[in-house]
Amino acid sequence: MTAPAETTATAPVETTAPVESRRHIPELPSPRGTLSHALVTALRGEGQAPDPGQAHQAEPYGDDLQLALYVLYELHYQGFSGVSDECEWDPALLALRRALEQRFLDALDADVPRCEDAGEALGALLVEPVGHDASSVSHHLQRDGEPWQMREYAALRSLYHLKEADPHAWVIPRLHGRAKAAMVAIEYDEFGAGRAEDVHARLFAELMTDLGLETAYGHYLDAAPAEVLATVNLMSLFGLHRAHRGALVGHFASVEVTSSPGSRRLAAALRRIGAGPAAQRFYDEHVEADAVHEQVVRRDVIGGLLDAEPGLEPDVAFGVRATGFLEDRLAARVLAAWHEGRSVLRVPLSDAPKASGASTAR
């Protein structure tokens, strides 16, 4: 499969209000190695699923494993054009997914410092740096970001934001009492409080329209580096396993705690570059909503969960720290490319620096 033509990921164009992005069923992506090639071939009905034993040889944070895992998870979300819905629960694909997940988790277990105290793990996120943080993408975009960098950032984040809150919804049946009630209340806000036009995924599609980006679900998958795939895969992994319910709550808490200050910086960045009101609205909404959500998730979601199941506290802390670890890896990849004046996307947008070229798959 060839990479998408640049004409579908180019400079801003005139657009109308976005069609619901999830109506679009994406095509299977271009493979990035032997594992993902064999998987994509199997999903096309042209071969067998890869042997799960191959997962042990793959780089856990690399393009090949992360793309294969992303594709397998997408079978539980929107699926792919031409791929049977029956593949979602195909035993051979589930065996492969399990092996890939274990390889990913083993790497995280080795790289993420263990912590027994969820409050300690979250506390580190509550300290805002004084002045400019050179390791933060939102700080860079607020102060120095160029329009093409803001567009790249939105394209990268679209892999999650066009299905925002869906992975976290999987934890709801696994909670009860105070934790469940609080989680549902927050998710209700994420899904527009009963108004389709206010669903956060829809607001992000409108942001993308303001920035001249394609809003079709999964459009930028071929362009996204492995570091982005890993951040989305983590929440899918936690969400699909009841055993990781504590880690998913930790992931959710990490997102809510960091969202409000980060969104404030990104809203300021959009105003500075002259983006339209729909683009600004997405982050403005998160500044206000997530400041409230942070308190609810810490007090009632985590508090309620740990009152009921205190043994999950190390899992909650792991979810917080694993999220931070992968987000730091992504930020380092993005800022390294931008500081060198090149695109971080594997398929650059047309307004990226002309000398950049596409990044090579690892």
- What integer pLDDT is reported at residue 19 of this predicted model? 60
Task: Tell me how far apart the alpha carbons of residues 356 and 343 are, in angstroms, rounded to a whole number.
Answer: 6
Per-domain boundaries in the chain: 22-111, 133-339
Quickly tell me which residue has 């992975």 as its tokens.
167
Contact 317, 116 (CB under 8 A): yes
Architecture of the domain made up of 133-339: Up-down Bundle (1.20)
- What integer pLDDT is reported at residue 294 of this predicted model? 85
Task: Tell me how far apart the alpha carbons of residues 46 and 48 are, in angstroms, rounded to a whole number.
Answer: 7
- What integer pLDDT is reported at residue 130 of this predicted model? 53
- What integer pLDDT is reported at residue 126 of this predicted model? 77
Q: Which two tokens stand for residue 289?
A: 């909503």
pLDDT in tens, the chain (362 residues): 333 334 333 344 434 455 688 888 999 999 999 999 999 999 999 999 999 999 999 999 999 999 999 999 999 999 999 999 999 999 999 999 999 999 999 999 999 999 999 999 998 887 766 557 888 999 999 999 999 999 999 999 999 999 999 999 999 999 999 999 999 999 999 999 999 999 999 999 999 999 999 999 999 999 999 999 999 999 999 999 999 999 999 999 999 988 889 999 999 999 999 999 999 999 998 887 767 888 899 999 999 999 999 999 999 999 999 999 999 999 999 999 999 999 999 999 999 997 544 433 33
- What integer pLDDT is reported at residue 55 of this predicted model? 96
Closest CA to 212 of 145, 263, 274: 274
Convert the chain into a string of H (helix), E (strand) and C (coil): CCCCCHHHCCCCCCCCCCCCHHHCCCCCCCCCCHHHHHHHHHHCCCCCCCCHHHHHHCCCCCHHHHHHHHHHHHCCCCCCCCCCHHHHHCHHHHHHHHHHHHHHHHHHHHHCCCCCCHHHHHHHHHCCCCCCCCCCHHHHHHHCCCHHHHHHHHHHHHHHHCCCCHHHHCCHHHCCHHHHHHHHHHHHHHCHHHCHHHCHHHHHHHHHHHCCCCCCCCCCCCCCCHHHHHHHHHHHHHHHCHHHHHHHHHHHHHHHHHHHHHHHHHHHHHHHCCCCHHHHHHHHHHHHHHHHHHHHHHHHHHHHHHHHCHHHHHHHHHHHHHHHHHHHHHHHHHHHHHHCCCCCCCCCCCCCCCCCCCCCCC
Which residue type does 289 have?
A: A
Closest CA to 29 of 37, 21, 20: 37
- What integer pLDDT is reported at residue 297 of this predicted model? 93
The alpha carbon of 309 is separated from its chain's Cα centroid by a whole number of angstroms, namely 28
Q: Which two tokens stand for residue 166?
A: 């869906």
- What integer pLDDT is reported at residue 1 of this predicted model? 39
Task: Tell me how far apart the alpha carbons of residues 12 and 351 are, in angstroms, rounded to a whole number.
Answer: 9
Which residue type does 208 have?
A: M
Q: Which two tokens stand for residue 105?
A: 């988790």
Contact 31, 2 (CB under 8 A): no
Closest CA to 57 of 40, 73, 35, 36: 35
Name all contacts of 138-143 with Cβ < 8 Å and 24+ positions apart: 138/262, 138/265, 138/266, 138/269, 139/265, 140/335, 140/338, 141/265, 141/266, 141/269, 142/265, 142/266, 142/268, 142/269, 142/272
CB atoms within 10 A of CB 82: 11
